[in-house]
């Protein structure tokens, strides 16, 4: 039976999982969850993820949540097909992939998600973006991208010379970010820009990006 | 052989996360003290070890890493045959472990660290605790701990029936919170309380306390 992913293609965290499934050429069924109707807060959903968030993965008797745990599971289960997303064959290489995955999780994600929350989610709630929060987080994001610019001058991808989960996890938020008026943060850094354009050329990306339909409020 | 080195501070929660893992694995290592007051972590040569300027950084015979949870995972895999088992075999068990580590990082730590900062670390810097923030963050932590209470009713530890990295990652910040009024949130939930008592009484947890 194919894996089931509960969530919607426009959700960043769901898209992370979908990218991984496509990179691994794995069949799956996407089961939509109506977030605007708060279906993710119903007992039937909370029994799968008590934190009430998408995505959730079901694979036979296994139920998983947290997108980066799901991608790690998919990458490991299907390590012998598709793209090698974890460099599982070598402990030290695998550790470097985990390191840059942690960087995405703890340095990149907090800053970029705060910007996207203000520019895309807050207007959907009928409120005005907080410019101070945007500015503060753009500054943090800029510093992270400075580190990336230096790293990508030495290696083609963040964890080395091949595409891994460390790169993949960045894609959905960056895609939305590039639709805002702050895309210069990426475009003004030549190595980061080249890396981003490479990530956008991957077949898996071309399958997932049409689902990333939310747009920033005009700004 | 160059051996294992940890570049950090003995009071730092992220440094302690790595030290506890090394003790669990009964590995020898050297703690190289980074002077945070002097900003040593924001200057060379430390920045070459971690361009984000945060402790800890790690080295194992020339192999270099940063990010405490990447380091603990490396230790757990590389030294799988030594000391205590910190992982769980099989891809589904490892997935549950990965999920538990993500929950600690994204749901628990973001809130618990704020409570540690407000109530303990701010005092080191002569700043005042913001009780409004404490109150707000305790509400959030309570909700996370409600989920943990349910989980620990089914399983002795968070990922499975033995201690793993998932439990370990929580220890340093919990140790600090036990010294604050936030302790009540753990005490009020019987399964969480028993789990906290268990993980903080492990010899490796005791070794990192000053």
Instruction: List, for residues B135-160, the tens digit of each pLDDT value.
Output: 999 999 999 999 999 999 999 999 99
> What is d(CA A69, CA A193) in angstroms, rounded to the nearest whole number?
28
Cβ–Cβ under 8 Å, residues A7 and A70: no
Q: Which chain B residue has the Cα nearest residue A68?
A: B102
Dihedral sign from CA coordinates of B110, B112, B116, B118 = positive
**For the residues A178-190, what does the mean pLDDT come to?**
96
**ipTM value of the model?**
0.81
pLDDT-derived band at A217, boundaries 50, 70, 90: low
Q: Which tens digit of pLDDT belongs to each residue from A33-89?
A: 988 788 999 999 999 999 999 999 999 999 999 999 999 999 999 999 999 999 999
**For the residues A159-184, what does the mean pLDDT come to?**
97
Q: Do B106 and A65 lie within an 8 Å CB cutoff?
A: no
Q: Which chain B residue has the Cα nearest residue A140?
A: B52
Residue A13 is predicted with a pLDDT of 97
More confident residue, A125 or B166: B166
Q: Which tens digit of pLDDT belongs to each residue from B18-33?
A: 999 999 999 999 999 9
Give how far the C-alpha of residue B179 lies from the chain's centroid of Cα atoms, to the nearest Å. 16
Domains within chain A, CATH numbers bracketed: 1-81 (3.40.30.10), 89-204 (1.20.1050.10)
Residue B77 is predicted with a pLDDT of 96
Interface of A with B in 33-72 (CB under 8 A): 50-51, 62, 64-66, 68-70, 72
Domains within chain B, CATH numbers bracketed: 2-77 (3.40.30.10), 89-205 (1.20.1050.10)
Interface of B with A in 102-131 (CB under 8 A): 102-103, 105-107
**For the residues B171-186, what does the mean pLDDT come to?**
95
Residue B42 has pLDDT above 70, yes or no: yes
Residue A124 is predicted with a pLDDT of 80
The percentage of chain B sitting over the pLDDT mark of 70, rounded to a whole number, equals: 99
**For the residues B58-71, what does the mean pLDDT come to?**
97
Cβ–Cβ under 8 Å, residues B96 and B86: no
Residue A219 has pLDDT above 50, yes or no: no
Residue A218 is predicted with a pLDDT of 53
Least confident of A111-125, A165-179, B195-209: A111-125
Q: Which tens digit of pLDDT belongs to each residue from A128-137?
A: 899 999 999 9
| CA triple B164-B166-B172, angle to 5 deg | 105
Residue B2 is predicted with a pLDDT of 66
Residue A214 is predicted with a pLDDT of 82
Q: Taking CB atoms and an 8 Å cutoff, what residues of chain A touch B147?
A: 50-51
- Reading the block at residue B126, the tokens are 């002569």
Q: What backbone phi and psi angles, to 5 degrees, belong to A56?
A: -125, 140
């Amino acid at each position: 039976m194919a894996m089931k992913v509960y969530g919607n293609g426009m959700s960043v965290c769901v898209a992370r999982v979908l990218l991984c499934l496509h990179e691994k050429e794995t069949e799956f069924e996407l089961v939509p969850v109506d977030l605007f109707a708060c279906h993710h807060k119903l007992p039937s959903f909370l029994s799968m993820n008590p934190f009430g968030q998408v995505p959730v993965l079901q694979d036979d008797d296994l139920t998983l949540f947290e997108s980066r745990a799901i991608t790690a599971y998919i990458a490991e289960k299907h390590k012998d097909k598709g793209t090698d997303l974890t460099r599982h064959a070598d402990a030290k290489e695998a550790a470097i992939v985990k390191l840059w995955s942690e960087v995405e999780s703890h340095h990149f994600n907090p800053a970029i998600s705060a910007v996207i929350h203000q520019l895309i989610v807050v207007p959907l709630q009928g409120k005005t973006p907080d410019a101070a929060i945007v500015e503060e987080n753009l500054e943090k994001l800029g510093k992270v991208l400075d580190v990336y610019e230096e790293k990508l001058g030495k290696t083609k991808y963040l964890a080395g010379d091949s595409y891994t989960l460390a790169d993949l996890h960045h894609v959905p938020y960056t895609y939305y970010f590039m639709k805002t008026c702050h895309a210069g943060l990426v475009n003004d850094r030549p190595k980061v820009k080249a890396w981003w354009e490479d990530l956008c050329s991957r077949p898996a990306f071309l399958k997932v990006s049409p689902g990333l339909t939310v747009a920033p409020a005009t700004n | 052989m160059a051996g294992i080195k940890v570049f950090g501070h003995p009071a730092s929660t992220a440094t302690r996360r790595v030290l506890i893992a090394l003790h669990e694995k009964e590995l020898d290592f050297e703690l190289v003290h980074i002077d945070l007051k002097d900003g040593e972590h924001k200057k060379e040569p430390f920045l070459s070890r971690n361009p984000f300027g945060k402790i800890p950084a790690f080295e194992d015979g020339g192999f270099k890493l940063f990010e405490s949870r990447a380091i603990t995972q490396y230790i757990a895999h590389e030294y799988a045959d030594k000391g205590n088992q910190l992982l769980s075999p099989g891809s589904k068990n490892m997935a549950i472990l990965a999920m538990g580590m993500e929950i600690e990082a994204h749901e628990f730590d973001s809130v618990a660290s704020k409570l540690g900062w407000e109530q303990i670390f701010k005092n080191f810097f002569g700043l005042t605790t913001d009780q409004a923030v404490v109150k707000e963050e305790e509400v959030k932590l309570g909700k996370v701990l409600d989920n943990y209470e349910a989980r620990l009713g089914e399983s002795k530890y968070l990922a499975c029936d033995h201690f793993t990295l998932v439990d370990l990652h929580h220890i340093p910040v919990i140790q600090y919170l036990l010294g604050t009024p936030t302790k009540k949130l753990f005490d009020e939930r019987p399964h969480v309380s028993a789990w906290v008592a268990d993980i903080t009484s492990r010899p490796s947890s005791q070794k990192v306390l000053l």
